Amino acid sequence: MGKPWVYDSTWREGTRLRGESKCSRSEDMDTNKTDLHVYSIGHVMEKTGLSARQIRYYDQVGLISPQRTAGNQRRFSDRDIQRLLLIKDLIQKNLTTEAIKEILEGENIQDADYHTEEQRAKDRLTPKELTSLYPVLDSATLQRILQERRLSREDK
C-alpha cells in the first residue's frame, strides 16, 4: 500500500492536511514519531480488516474523526486505527453504535463489558421468534422438517 504519510516541516511531494502543517511521504521515517504518522483508508483497511464502507460509516456517525486533506481525503492516525480496532471488537460483541459512542466518549473500556453483559441480560429476557431464510411454504413441509429434527435428536 505504500508508506504512511508523516508530518514534516519541509514540503516535498505530498498533501497538505486542512488546518495542519505541511506533510509529505517520508522515505526514512523516524520511529520515535509514530504518533505523527497518518495513513490512507487503504492502509487502514489492511491494518484493521474493516472495509472502506465500514470505516466511512464510523466516520459518518461520529465514532471516529480522521483528519482530511485539502482534497477531502481521510487521513488516519495511529490513534484512529486503535479506535477502529476497538470499535470492531465492540461491534463483534453485538453492541449498538450508540452504545459504542457512549463508551468512546467516556473512554472507559470497562463500560464495554457492562454494556455487553447488559445486552446479554436483555437478550435472555426477550422472547425469541423463530425465523428462517427459507420460509416453509406449506404445513406438510413443516411437519416433515419437525419430524426429521425429532428423529435426529432421538438418535443422539
Domain ranges, ordered by start, for the chain: 5-92
Provide, for the chain, the percentages of residues in helix, strand and coil under a 3-state DSSP scheme, each rounded to the nearest 5: 50, 10, 35
CATH code of the domain made up of 5-92: 1.10.1660.10
Q: pLDDT of 132-156, one tens digit each?
A: 555 556 667 777 777 887 887 777 6
| Of 104, 83, 80, 87, the residue nearest 5 (C-alpha) | 80
- Single pTM value for the model: 0.50
Cα distances (Å, whole numbers) of residue 25 to 3, 6, 48, 56: 7, 6, 22, 23
Q: pLDDT of 82-111, one tens digit each?
A: 999 999 988 888 888 888 888 888 755 555
Cα distances (Å, whole numbers) of residue 18 to 10, 77, 117, 152: 16, 14, 41, 64
